[in-house]
Amino acid sequence: MKLIVAVDNNWAIGSGNELLFRIPEDMKRFKAFTTGNTVVMGYNTLLSFPGSRPLPNRTNIVLCDDPSVNVEGAVMCGSLEALLEELKNYDSDKVFVIGGAMVYRLLLDYCSEAYITKIQSAGEAPDKFFPNLDEDPKWEIAEESEINEHNGTKFKYVTYVKNKNFA
């Protein structure tokens, strides 16, 4: 399993159930990575999408502990155990964890790769954070892009892989 996320320079990922930054190039990258694959998210992440609808052209798996919630076009899982059981039905190389903060924390140890967009500024009033992989000995940088820029916002893509000693 893999994950994909955009973080600011403090590893913040969101504020008020919204992304901190909207960078068209990064959105295209997200779409290219996830289209045709499986995405795993929490219910709040699903609610943040346009119309609170599952992402098109992907299998959407949603972790939600409220059994009364049913979302057309999504596979609902009520617990981590149920989610892990459901994920056995999918090719783990084609499964992407896409948020939010709680789901990232729950599934980080199950992931082998992390595609991080590192935005070189601080988001406004962040309230959700991603674990700092630079300080985690379980993760190491495999690849790093040059610095890109969109409307004065600088960012780069960094691919982390699970350190073989912790795989």
Asked whether 63 and 43 are in contact (CB, 8 A), the reply is yes
User: Is 166's pLDDT higher than 90?
Assistant: no
User: Is 17's pLDDT higher than 90?
Assistant: no
Q: Which of 164, 139, 160, 167 is nearest to 5 (CA)?
A: 160
The pLDDT confidence band at residue 23, using thresholds 50, 70 and 90, is very high
Non-local (6+) Cβ contacts of 165 within 8 A are none
Is the CATH number of domain 2-166 3.40.430.10? yes
Mean pLDDT of all residues in 14-41? 94
Non-local (6+) Cβ contacts of 104 within 8 A are 3, 5, 13, 97, 130, 131
Mean pLDDT of all residues in 60-72? 95
Domain ranges of the chain: 2-166
DSSP string, 33-61: HHTTSEEEEEHHHHHTSGGG-PPTTSEEE
Tokens describing residue 19? 């992304």
The pLDDT confidence band at residue 167, using thresholds 50, 70 and 90, is low
Mean pLDDT of the chain: 95
- H helical segments located in the chain: 24-34, 43-47, 80-87, 101-107
User: Is 24's pLDDT higher than 70?
Assistant: yes
Backbone angles phi, psi at 66, to 5 degrees: -95, 105
| pLDDT for the residue 87 | 98
Q: What is the pLDDT of residues 104-117, one digit of tens each?
A: 999 999 999 999 99
